[in-house]
C-alpha cells in the first residue's frame, strides 16, 4: 500500500514536470492542454452514463435469465451472440440511426457514443450476474425461502450481494473495454460524414491526424491519469470491498483479509438522503416486478390447461411473426445477392484472409511473450509485486488511444510506407489482444495448487518436462478464456487499425477493416458495409462454434484442477 502511494507520487511529479517543460517548449500544445480537463470530464461522463445503463441492464437481464427457466432458454444464446460479434462494425449504422432520430442534433451523436460504450460494457456483466445467481449455495437459497425472503428482501439480502463480486470484477473489465470504444467513437465517420464530439478520444485522434506529437503525449497522459485515478479511488477499493460478499466454500477456510475501503472512501460525502431516495425508487420497481411474476406464477399453477392453450397460440403467433421477419430478411438478402454484386465484393474473401492472418500474427506474438512472463509472475511473489502495477497501468491504456504512438513507432522502424502500415495494423491488434491473455494466464498459473508444483519438483520435473506435464496443461483453461476474449478484442481492433490517418497522411492495408472504412467515408456504400459486416460475423461465429467452443469443452473437462 505504502509502496504504491510512493510510486504514484513519483509518477505525478514526473507528469507535472513533463507538463511544465512541454508547456514552455510548445505554447500551442499548452493551450490545447487547458481544454483537456473539460474534455476528460466529458469523456468520463459518457462512460459513467453508459456504465449505469449497463449496470441496470446486467442486473435485470442476469436476474431474469437466472430465475426464469423459460426466459433463459432464449436469453443466454442471445447474450452469447451479442458478446461475440464485433460491435464496432455496427457503429456506423447506430450512429446514422441516432443522428437521424434526433434530426442531426449533436445529442444524437452523444446517444450513439453512449450506446456503443454500453454495448461494450453490458454483456460480460450480465453473464457475471447470471453466473453468480446460479451458483448460490442451495442451502442459502433454502434458508432465504424458509425465512420468508421474497421480492425486494430476497433481492436485497440474497441476489444482489451474491452478485457483487462478479459484478465488480466484470465492471473493471467493462471499463477497460469502454475506454477502447470511447476513444474510437468520439470521432467517427458514417454515411459519408464525419461526426465528432469534444472529448479526450477526439482530442488524441485529431492530434494524431495532425502529427502533433506533444498533443498526443499530453492527451494520452491525461487519459492515463483519469484511468489511473478511477482505478485507485474507485475500482481497487470496490474490488477489496467485494471480497466481503464472497461465499465461504468450505467451513474453516481462511478468507484473505482485505484492506478497509472505508479509509479510501472517507472523503466521499455520505449522502444518506440520496441513498434513501434511490432505494425508495428502486424498491417499488422490484416489488412490482416480483408481484407481477408471482401473479403469473399463481395463475399458471391455477389454470395450467388454459395457459397451455394460450401459450400454444402465443407460440404460433410468434412463429408467424418470426417467419415473416426472417422471410423478408432473406428476400432482401437474396435480392441483394441476385443483383450483380458490387465490383469490389470480390475482394471480400481475400480481405477476410488478410485480416485474419494479421490477427493470427498478433496473437502469436502475444502468446510468445505472455506465457513465459505469466509463468514468471505467477510463480514469483517478488516479481509480481514489482511488475504487476506497471503492467496494469500499461494495460489500462486503450489501444485506440495508443494508436498515434504506435503508428509513429511503426514509421520509425519500418523500411517502407507500406510496411509501416502493416506493422502498425499488427501492433494495434497486438495491443488490443495481449493483456487479456497475460492477465488470464497469470490467474491460471496462480491457481495451480502449491502441492502439485512441489510434487512435480520432487519427482524431478524440470525444464521442458515441467512445462509440458504441469504448467501448460494447468493453464490450458485460462489460456482459452484469454484467447477467446483476446480474439474478440482483436476483431474490433481491425476496424480501427487497417485505415489510419496520421500526420496528414493515410496508411492503409487491405482487409475487412479498411473495406468497412471505405464503405462509410468519403462516399457511403451501404451494400458493401453490410457485406463486410456479414463476412466478419460469419468468420467470428465460425471460429467460436468450430474452434473455441469444442476446445473449451475439452479443456474444462480434461485439464480442470479440482481443488
Which chain residues interact with other proteins by CB under 8 A? 137, 139-140, 142-143, 145-150, 153, 157-158, 161, 164, 244-248, 251-252, 255, 257, 260, 262
Which residue, 255 or 316, has its beta carbon nearer to other proteins? 255
Instruction: Supply the Cα-derived Rg of the chain in whole angstroms.
Output: 26
The string over 38-74, giving b where at least 16 C-beta atoms fall within 10 Å of a residue's C-beta and e elsewhere, is ebbebbbebbebbbebbbebbbebbbbbbeeeeebee
Which residue, 147 or 267, has its beta carbon nearer to other proteins? 147
| Cβ 241 to other proteins shortest distance, Å | 9
Gap between the Cα atoms of 360 and 33, Å rounded = 38
Which residue, 31 or 157, has its beta carbon nearer to other proteins? 157
Reported as type and span, the H/E element at residue 506 is strand 505-508
Which residue, 98 or 160, has its beta carbon nearer to other proteins? 160
| Cβ 261 to other proteins shortest distance, Å | 9
| Cβ 255 to other proteins shortest distance, Å | 5
- Measuring CA to CA, how many Å separate 537 from each of 71, 434, 481, 491? 25, 22, 20, 10
| Cβ 248 to other proteins shortest distance, Å | 6
| Cβ 153 to other proteins shortest distance, Å | 6
| Cβ 290 to other proteins shortest distance, Å | 13
Q: Cβ distance 233 to 77 under 8 Å?
A: no
Secondary structure (H, E, C), 169-226: HHHHHHHHHHHHHHHHHCEEEECCEEEECCCHHHHHHHHHHHCCHHHHHHHHHHHHHH
| Cβ 560 to other proteins shortest distance, Å | 23
Please state the length of the chain. 563
Q: Which residues contact 56 (CB under 8 A, 6 or more apart)?
A: none
Which residue, 144 or 228, has its beta carbon nearer to other proteins? 144
Which residue, 90 or 265, has its beta carbon nearer to other proteins? 265
Q: Cβ distance 90 to 492 under 8 Å?
A: no
| Count of CB atoms situated within 10 Å of the CB of 277 | 11
- Measuring CA to CA, how many Å separate 177 from each of 170, 180, 184, 215, 381? 10, 5, 11, 24, 28
Residue 465 CA to chain centroid, in angstroms? Answer: 36
Reported as type and span, the H/E element at residue 500 is strand 499-502
Gap between the Cα atoms of 114 and 330, Å rounded = 31
| Cβ 121 to other proteins shortest distance, Å | 25
| Cβ 129 to other proteins shortest distance, Å | 16
| Cβ 149 to other proteins shortest distance, Å | 5
Q: In a 10 Å sphere around its CB, with 0-12 CB exposed, 13-18 middle and 19+ buried, how is residue 161 labelled?
A: middle
Gap between the Cα atoms of 27 and 541, Å rounded = 50
- CA triplet 179, 183, 184: central angle to 5 degrees? 115
Question: In sequence order, what are the beta bridge partners of 187?
Answer: 196
| Cβ 270 to other proteins shortest distance, Å | 14
Cα of first residue to Cα of last residue in the chain, in angstroms, is 30
| Cβ 148 to other proteins shortest distance, Å | 4
Which residue, 93 or 149, has its beta carbon nearer to other proteins? 149
Which residue, 63 or 197, has its beta carbon nearer to other proteins? 63
Is the peptide bond prior to 522 cis by the omega test (within 30 degrees of 0)?
A: yes
Q: Cβ distance 190 to 92 under 8 Å?
A: yes
Which residue, 154 or 358, has its beta carbon nearer to other proteins? 154
Amino acid at each position: 500500500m505504502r509502496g504504491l502511494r510512493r510510486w504514484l507520487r513519483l509518477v505525478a511529479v514526473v507528469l507535472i514536470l513533463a507538463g511544465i517543460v512541454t508547456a514552455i517548449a510548445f505554447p500551442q500544445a499548452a493551450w490545447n492542454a487547458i481544454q483537456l480537463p473539460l474534455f476528460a470530464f466529458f469523456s468520463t461522463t459518457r462512460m459513467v452514463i453508459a456504465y449505469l445503463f449497463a449496470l441496470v441492464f446486467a442486473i435485470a437481464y442476469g436476474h431474469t435469465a437466472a430465475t426464469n427457466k423459460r426466459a433463459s432458454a432464449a436469453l443466454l444464446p442471445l447474450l452469447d451472440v451479442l458478446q461475440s460479434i464485433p460491435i464496432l462494425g455496427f457503429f456506423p449504422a447506430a450512429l446514422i440511426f441516432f443522428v437521424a432520430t434526433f434530426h442531426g442534433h449533436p445529442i444524437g451523436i452523444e446517444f450513439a457514443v453512449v450506446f456503443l460504450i454500453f454495448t461494450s460494457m453490458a454483456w460480460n456483466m450480465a453473464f457475471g450476474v447470471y453466473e453468480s445467481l446460479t451458483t448460490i449455495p442451495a442451502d442459502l437459497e433454502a434458508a432465504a425461502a424458509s425465512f420468508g425472503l421474497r421480492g425486494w428482501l430476497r433481492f436485497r439480502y440474497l441476489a444482489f450481494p451474491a452478485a457483487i463480486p462478479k459484478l465488480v470484477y466484470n465492471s473493471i473489465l467493462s471499463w477497460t473495454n469502454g475506454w477502447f470504444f470511447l476513444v474510437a467513437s468520439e470521432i467517427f465517420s458514417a454515411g459519408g460524414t464525419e461526426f465528432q464530439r469534444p472529448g479526450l478520444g477526439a482530442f488524441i485522434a485529431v492530434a494524431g491526424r495532425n502529427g502533433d506529437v506533444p498533443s498526443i503525449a499530453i492527451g494520452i497522459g491525461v487519459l492515463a491519469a483519469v484511468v489511473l485515478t478511477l482505478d485507485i479511488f474507485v475500482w481497487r477499493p470496490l474490488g477489496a470491498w467485494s471480497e466481503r460478499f464472497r461465499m465461504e466454500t468450505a467451513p474453516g477456510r481462511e478468507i484473505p483479509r482485505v484492506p478497509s475501503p472505508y479509509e479510501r472512501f472517507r472523503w466521499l460525502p455520505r449522502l444518506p438522503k440520496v441513498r434513501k431516495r434511490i432505494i425508495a425508487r428502486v424498491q417499488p420497481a422490484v416489488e412490482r416486478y416480483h408481484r407481477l411474476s408471482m401473479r403469473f406464477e399463481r395463475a399458471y399453477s391455477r389454470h395450467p390447461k388454459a395457459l397451455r392453450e394460450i401459450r400454444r397460440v402465443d407460440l404460433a403467433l410468434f412463429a408467424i411473426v418470426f417467419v415473416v421477419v426472417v422471410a423478408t430478411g432473406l428476400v432482401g438478402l437474396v435480392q441483394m445477392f441476385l443483383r450483380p454484386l458490387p465490383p469490389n465484393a470480390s475482394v471480400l474473401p481475400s480481405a477476410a484472409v488478410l485480416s485474419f492472418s494479421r490477427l493470427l500474427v498478433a496473437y502469436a506474438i502475444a502468446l510468445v511473450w505472455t506465457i513465459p512472463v505469466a509463468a514468471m509472475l505467477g510463480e514469483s511473489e517478488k516479481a509480481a509485486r514489482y511488475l504487476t502495477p506497471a503492467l496494469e497501468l500499461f494495460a489500462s491504456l486503450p489501444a485506440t488511444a495508443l494508436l498515434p504512438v504506435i503508428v509513429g513507432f511503426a514509421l520509425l522502424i519500418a523500411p517502407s510506407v507500406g510496411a509501416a502500415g502493416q506493422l502498425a495494423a499488427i501492433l494495434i491488434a497486438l495491443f488490443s489482444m495481449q493483456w487479456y491473455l497475460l492477465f488470464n494466464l497469470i490467474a491460471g498459473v496462480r491457481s495451480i495448487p502449491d502441492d502439485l508444483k512441489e510434487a512435480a519438483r520432487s519427482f524431478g520435473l524440470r525444464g521442458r518436462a515441467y512445462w509440458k506435464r504441469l504448467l501448460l496443461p494447468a493453464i490450458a483453461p485460462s489460456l482459452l478464456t484469454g484467447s477467446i476474449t483476446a480474439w474478440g478484442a482483436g476483431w474490433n481492433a481491425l476496424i480501427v487499425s487497417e485505415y489510419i490517418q496520421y500526420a496528414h497522411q493515410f496508411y492503409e492495408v487491405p482487409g475487412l477493416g479498411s473495406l468497412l472504412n471505405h464503405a462509410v467515408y468519403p462516399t457511403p456504400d451501404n451494400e458493401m458495409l453490410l457485406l463486410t459486416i456479414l463476412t466478419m460475423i460469419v468468420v467470428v461465429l465460425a471460429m467460436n462454434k468450430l474452434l473455441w467452443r469444442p476446445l473449451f469443452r475439452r479443456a474444462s473437462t480434461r485439464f480442470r484442477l479440482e481443488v
